A and B are shown apart, each in its own frame.
Chain A
Amino acid sequence: MRRMSGFNLVSLTFGLAFLYLPMLILVIYSFNASKLVTVWAGFSTRWYGELLRNEAFLDAALVTLKVGLISSTIATVLGTMAAWILVRTGRFFGRTLFSGMIYAPLVMPEVITGLSLLLLFIGIGLDRGILTIVLAHTTFSMCYVSVVVSSRLTSFDISLEEAALDLGCTPWQSFRLVTLPIIAPAVISGWLLAFTLSLDDLVIASFAAGPSSTTLPMKIFSAVRLGVSPEINALSTIMIGIVAFGVVIFSLASKRATARQLQEERDAARAET
């Protein structure tokens, strides 16, 4: 489009400031020595110390991490399978229902998803705990994974698979040796998305969790309901730090991977001529 005008520069600056300033303020105030939000009483790491001594938070973090790792892994497997079905298999009985069930959870309000799962768990007499949170998280995050993976599968050149089959691969071999390496970036992004969604979720986990299993978002929510807490500021800063670090690493790695792929393609083209 056209060149950068003054107006564009202003709206970009304001937009990004709006997105980042609140988090920046949170980070700064996590180092505030005072318990009060507005009074700056000097730099201190006191709240980080108190946070690390608070075992309830550590336990909740452990539960969250466990749920996140298990549910995102199952969701990635199921979501990739679902994406494959949506893109590659032709008609089968109940196909419309299937694609409806993949897309509906994406727009379903969390309170309804949570309520319905809780009613199911009670109905079948399943004790609520880590298992039920994992089941709940897997169900909604597999749909996100399948959307991510199926968009990659649609743009994928099917003749590569056909070539593998013609050359004597079994369908499973052609998937493992041809398809999977090509869709791997999408599968990894899907896993990361599922993991983040699981770490982030408050509403569905609150419905699905029993009294003995509290996740970190549930813990944070009950702590901040009544107002700002310096310990939560410290916890938020740690979480923002982890995400920022992870995103930088991931984008560097994917940039390097793309560069390598381009290089390989160039080498291959040169070898042919």
Chain B
Amino acid sequence: MRRLILILVPYAWLLALFLVPFLIVVKISLSDVALARPPYLPQLDFAAGWAGVKDFFQQLDFENFTFLASDDLYWRAYLSSLRIALISTVLTLLIGYPVAYAMASAQPEWRPTLMMLVILPFWTSFLIRVYSWMGILSQNGILNTFLLWTGLISEPLTIMNTEIAVYIGIVYTYLPFMILPIYATLEKLDVSLIEAAEDLGCSRASAFWLVTIPLSRPGIIAGCFLVFIPALGEFVIPSLLGGSGTLMIGKVLWEEFFNNRDWPVASAVAVVLLLILIIPIVLFQRNEQKNREAGK
């Protein structure tokens, strides 16, 4: 009996505040926009009994989804989100791997401190970390002032409000998510394997490519998903650093809801975004599962 209550409380909480809201999104994505309160039709009319429920289901349709498919704004937004998330993931990997490698090569007594230094930014506000780049990247910002002073450039660079600023923002905020899983696999790596490869005639570089990289693959995959999945639906970074020219789906959803007040289309955008995300999420889960089994 007690066990039942213990299960029921968190279960009911998640049903009511996670699953039901999500089903509402799906339902509204099948409704039509209307000048009413709430601004969509049809409304479920329980008072009319079974006929009301039947009527309600008959009025639902896929109109919003055909609208998404026909308007190229949404296509471009999904594609550019995918592109931006992909490029930033690769950039994060290129910057994160050497750092993780260096951490794993450091003296063991240094490693906890290094790890804390990598985790620490995660505890500071995400918004502030994104904001800190606004003063650096803007037209008359610190980076431009510095580069002009050194004489490397004669005209200020336009970085703020471009996709480049979004890449910088994503790499900066998600870097710890890339470093930590790679570091975890590299730390466990058996050095004697690399030594054996070198003894057998590998150069240091080829030992790295043939032994270290394949053995750290689970960490690389985990890190890439941990960056790619949240980057795809990102809202704060493109809206602060990307300017009006950067199209990302999280921003489109926000504007559709708050500025255009088109709830059904915003819901349809959300449903499609989730359908796109299911593939990487399932792949990520499978990778984690494999790692757990390999760890046993």
To the question of whether A and B form a pair in one complex, the answer is: yes
Distance to closest chain B CB from A85 (angstroms): 5
**Residue contact B179 to A243, C-beta cutoff 8 Å:** no
Interface size class of chain B, counting residues whose CB lies under 8 Å from the partner chain? 35 or more
**Residue contact B105 to A78, C-beta cutoff 8 Å:** no
**Residue contact A4 to B240, C-beta cutoff 8 Å:** no
Closest to A224 in B: B131
**Residue contact A37 to B142, C-beta cutoff 8 Å:** yes
Given A81-B9, A232-B131, A236-B132, A109 and B250 contact (CB-CB distance below 8 Å): yes
Q: What chain A residues lie within 8 Å of B22 (beta carbons)?
A: 112, 116
Given A23-B121, A139-B13, A11 and B102 contact (CB-CB distance below 8 Å): yes
Binds A, one of B47-55, B68-76, B266-274: B266-274
**Residue contact B121 to A12, C-beta cutoff 8 Å:** no
Q: Is A203 an interface residue (CB 8 A)?
A: yes
**Residue contact A1 to B189, C-beta cutoff 8 Å:** yes
**Residue contact A26 to B128, C-beta cutoff 8 Å:** yes
Q: Is A196 an interface residue (CB 8 A)?
A: yes
Partner of B21, one of A22, A107, A117, A199: A117
Partner of B281, one of A29, A107, A217, A236: A107
- A113–B43 Cα distance when bound, in Å, is 22
- A221–B285 Cα distance when bound, in Å, is 33
Q: What chain A residues lie within 8 Å of B210 (beta carbons)?
A: none
**Residue contact B14 to A22, C-beta cutoff 8 Å:** no
| Number of A-B pairs, beta carbon distance below 8 Å | 234
Given A29-B135, A109-B233, A78 and B10 contact (CB-CB distance below 8 Å): yes
Among A16, A20, A102, A138, residue most surrounded by chain B Cβ atoms (within 10 Å): A16
Q: Is B126 an interface residue (CB 8 A)?
A: yes
Q: List 16 A-B contacts (CB under 8 A).
A: A4-B106, A8-B102, A25-B142, A82-B14, A84-B6, A101-B14, A103-B285, A116-B21, A116-B22, A116-B24, A117-B21, A202-B236, A224-B131, A236-B131, A240-B124, A247-B120
Which residues of A are in contact with B by a Cβ distance under 8 Å?
A: 1-5, 7-9, 11-12, 14-16, 18-20, 22-23, 25-26, 29, 36-38, 78-79, 81-82, 84-85, 89, 92, 94, 97-98, 101-105, 107-112, 115-117, 119-120, 122-123, 135-136, 138-139, 142, 146, 171-172, 196, 199-200, 202-203, 217, 220-221, 224-225, 227-228, 232-233, 236, 239-240, 243-244, 246-247, 251
Please provide the 3 A-B residue pairs with the shortest distance between their CB atoms, ordered closest to farther.
Answer: A109-B233, A15-B99, A116-B21
Which residues of B are in contact with A by a Cβ distance under 8 Å?
A: 2-3, 6-7, 9-11, 13-15, 17-22, 24-25, 28, 38, 95-96, 98-99, 101-107, 114, 116-118, 120-121, 123-129, 131-136, 138, 140-142, 145, 172, 175-176, 179, 186-187, 189, 191, 194, 229-230, 232-236, 239-240, 250, 253-254, 257, 263, 266-267, 270, 273-274, 277, 281, 284-285
